[in-house]
Chains A and B, each alone.
Chain A
Amino acid sequence: MKGKTTNFGVFVNGLLKENPVLRLVLGTCPTLAITTAVFNGLGMGIAATFVLICSNMVISALRKLIPAQVRLPAFIVIIASFVTLVHMLIKAYVPALNDALGVYLPLITVNCIILGRAEMFASKNGVLKSALDGLGMGLGFTIVLVLMSAVRELVGAGTLLGFQIMPEAVSPLTVAILPPGGFFVFGCFMALAIFLETKMGNKPNVNLQCGACPSADNCPAKGVGEA
C-alpha cells in the first residue's frame, strides 16, 4: 500500500502486483487471440501501451471538466480517437503489422485495460501519475503478451519471430496455438504470477467464489483464499 502512492510505486504496480492480464484479468480477449506469434504480441502490446499512456494523460487532464454522467462516453471517444490515430499510422508506416493484427487493432478501443484504468486511476489522479500508471500497465501487458506468445509460438509452431527454432523433425504441438492451448498457457501464467507474488511476500487475495460452482464438493481447491 505504501509503494502505491509514490511515482515509482505507481509504475511498478502494473508490472506484477496488479498486472492487468494476470492479476486484474482485464483484456483477456486480445491476449488469447494475438499471442500465437511473438511479432503479433509485441506489436499489439506496444500499440496498446501507446494508446494507454496517451488516453490516461488526456483523461487525467480533463478529469475535473468531464461531468460524472458522461464520463464513460467521453472516455470512449478519447480512447477511440487515439486508437484510430495509431491504426492510421500503422497502416501507413508498418503495413505488415496491420495485416498481422487485423481486426484486433481497432478492437483496442474496447480493451478493458484501457477503459478500466481510465475509470480506476486516471479519472482520480494527476497527469504524471496517470502517465506512469499507463506506462506500467502497458508494459505489464506487453511483457505478458510477449512471454505467452513466445511459449505458444515455440511449442505450437516451432518458430520464434518467424525463425525456425525447433528442429524440423519435431512436429510442433499445434494445440498450443489453438484456443484450448491458449487458455491453458494463460492459466499457467496466472498461476506463475500468483506464485511469484507469494514468494515476494505479498500474499495475493485470491477469491475463487466456490459457492456458485457445482463441482465445489469434488474440488480440492475449495475454500482457498476465503478469509
Chain B
Amino acid sequence: MSEETNKAKGQEVTEEVVDKKPAAPKKETKPAAKKPTAKAAAKPTAKKAEPETETKTEKAAEAATAKKAEEKKVWTRQLPVDEIQKAAAQQQADTAEEAPAAKPGPAKAKLAKPTSEVWQVWLRPVVVLVVICLITSLLLGVTNSITLPLVTQNAAAAEDAARKELLPSATNFENVTPTPLPDNIMSVYKADGDAGYVVGAYGKGYGGKVPALVAINAEGQIAGVKFLENGETPGLGQKLITDKNFTQQFTGRSADKALDNSDIDGIAAATLSTNAALTAINAATNYYNINIMGGTLAYNLPEDALAQLMPKAKSWQQLEVKADKIAGAYLGDDGTYVLVAQGQGEKTLYAAVAMDNDGTITALWLDTSKETPTIGLEMSENQEYIDQYVGQKDTAGVQGVAGVTHTSDGILSAVEAALAALPAAKEVA
C-alpha cells in the first residue's frame, strides 16, 4: 500500500511539475534545497517524464514548482489521476508553444531596455518638472508685474490714511524725508497748514524693527502714536499694535523731552518690545526737536567730567552748537573742544569727546548710567575700551566689547557724531 501511495504521490508530483511549467522562464532563481527532493520524486516515474527536464530553466522550474507541489500535496491527494494526466497533456502542448516564443522575447527586451530605462527613470521626471516650473514662473512673473503697482499704491494709501488718523486736522501731507536718513528715522511728513508733523521712526526690538508713526501737532505735543506691523512675539510685543491703552498714554505729552521707562506703563512681560517702542518715539521727538524746531538736546556735563576731559584747561565756556545728536559743547582755554553727543545703546547714553583743534581725540568720558548692569553699565569704567579712542581722528580702529553690542554701537555713533560736529563748534567759537 505504501508503494502504491508512493507511486501515486510521485506521479502527482511530476504531474504538478508539468502543470507549473509555464511559470518557468520567470522564476530563474529558486532554493537549491528543493532540487534534490524534486529529482528524487522525478526518478521513480522518470520514464514517462520529459526530455526537457535536462534544460536549465526547466530544472529550476521543477524546483520552484516542486516546492509549490509540496505545499499543494494536501489538496491534490484527492484528485483522480486521469484528470491530472489530461491537464498535464494540455499544459505540455501549451508549453511547447510557449517555450520557443519565450526565448527570443527576453533577449529583445534586454536590448530595448537601456535607452527607454534611462529616459523613463532619470530624464523624463526631470524634464517634466523643469517644464512645469518654467511655465509657472512665467505665469507668476506676469501676474506680479500687473499687481505690484496696485499693491504699492494700496500700501501708500494705507500709510496716508494712518497719518490722517493721527492728525485729523491735516488734509494733505508733504514728504520731507531727509536723505541720508538719520538713525532710526523712516520718514518725515509735514502736514499742510502747519498742523504738525508725522515722523516715522523705529526702534530695534526682539524680532527686528518696531516701527511707529508719531504725530506731533503745532503746539509741540504728541498728538498720537501708531505702531505699524512688526515681528514681535504675538500676544506680547504684538500688543503694541492693538493695545489702545498703551498707545494712548503718549497722547498729549510734550515732545521736547525724551521718555524713559519710568515715565510710562510698559507692556507686561514685553520689556524689549517696550524699549524698542520708546526708542522709536524718542527718535521721532528728537528729530522733531532738533531738525524741525531747531532745538538742542541738553545734557549737563558734570564739572569733574570736564576737568577730567580738559586737564590742562583752567576755565571753559559753553558753546551753542546745533548739530545732529549734539547735546552740549564746550571750549577750554587750552584750545580743547569738548562735544557731548547722545547715542542709543540699550537706553540713552552720552559720550563727551575732547578733541584738539585738528580733530584728534584727546579724551573720552562716557555716561552709560542707564545701560543694563553688568553689561553696558560698566562701559564708562572700561579704560581699555576708552583708550582705543584717544589719539584717533576717526572711529575706524575701535573694536567693540564682546557681548555689549548695543552699548558699543551706541557709543560709536555718539563719538562719530561728536567728531562730525567739530567744524560746527569751531564756527560758533
Q: Which residues of A contact B (CB under 8 A)?
A: 62, 65-67, 69-70, 73-74, 77-78, 80-81, 84-85, 88-89, 91-93, 95
Q: Is the CB of B128 within 8 A of A85?
A: no
Closest to A75 in B: B132
Given A65-B128, A70-B128, A89 and B120 touching (CB < 8 A)?
A: no
* 28 contacts across the A-B interface (CB closer than 8 A): A66-B128, A66-B132, A67-B128, A69-B121, A69-B125, A70-B125, A70-B126, A70-B129, A74-B128, A77-B129, A77-B133, A78-B136, A80-B136, A81-B136, A81-B137, A81-B139, A84-B140, A85-B140, A88-B140, A88-B143, A88-B147, A89-B147, A92-B146, A92-B147, A92-B151, A93-B150, A95-B154, A95-B158
Contacts of B154 in A (CB 8 A): 91-92, 95
Main secondary structure of the interface of A (DSSP, over half): helix
Contacts of B370 in A (CB 8 A): none
Q: Is the CB of B139 within 8 A of A85?
A: yes
Q: How far is the CB of A67 from chain B (nearest CB, A)?
A: 5
Mask of B141-164 contacts with A, CB within 8 angstroms, 1/0: 001101100110010001000000
Closest to B149 in A: A92
Closest to A95 in B: B154
Give 4 nearest A-B pairs by CB, closest first: A81-B136, A92-B150, A92-B147, A70-B125
Q: How far is the CB of A177 from chain B (nearest CB, A)?
A: 14
Chain B contacts with A in 105-141, Cβ cutoff 8 A: 120-121, 124-126, 128-129, 132-133, 136-137, 139-140
* Number of A-B residue pairs with CB-CB distance less than 8 Å in the complex they form: 51
CA gap between A74 and B151 in the complex, in Å? 29
Contacts of A70 in B (CB 8 A): 125-126, 128-129
Question: Which residue in B124, B129, B146 is a CB contact (below 8 Å) of A73?
Answer: B129
CA gap between A84 and B133 in the complex, in Å? 13
Q: How far is the CB of B136 from chain A (nearest CB, A)?
A: 4
Q: How far is the CB of A126 from chain B (nearest CB, A)?
A: 20
Question: Which residue in B124, B125, B132, B151 is a CB contact (below 8 Å) of A77?
Answer: B132
Given A88-B140, A91-B154, A92-B150, 8 other A-B residues pairs in contact with their CB atoms under 8 A: A74-B128, A77-B129, A85-B139, A85-B140, A85-B143, A89-B143, A91-B147, A91-B151
Q: How far is the CB of B335 from chain A (nearest CB, A)?
A: 60
Contacts of B140 in A (CB 8 A): 81, 84-85, 88
Contacts of A92 in B (CB 8 A): 146-147, 150-151, 154
CA gap between A88 and B125 in the complex, in Å? 29
Q: How far is the CB of B126 from chain A (nearest CB, A)?
A: 8
Contacts of A73 in B (CB 8 A): 129
CA gap between A77 and B146 in the complex, in Å? 21
Q: Is the CB of A74 within 8 A of B147?
A: no
Q: How far is the CB of B162 from chain A (nearest CB, A)?
A: 13
CA gap between A89 and B144 in the complex, in Å? 9
Closest to B125 in A: A70
CA gap between A95 and B156 in the complex, in Å? 12
Question: Which residue in A67, A77, A80, A91 is a CB contact (below 8 Å) of B120?
Answer: A67
Contacts of B147 in A (CB 8 A): 88-89, 91-92
Contacts of B120 in A (CB 8 A): 67
Q: How far is the CB of B177 from chain A (nearest CB, A)?
A: 24
Contacts of A78 in B (CB 8 A): 132, 136
Contacts of B150 in A (CB 8 A): 92-93
Q: Is the CB of A77 within 8 A of B143?
A: no
Q: Is the CB of A67 within 8 A of B151?
A: no
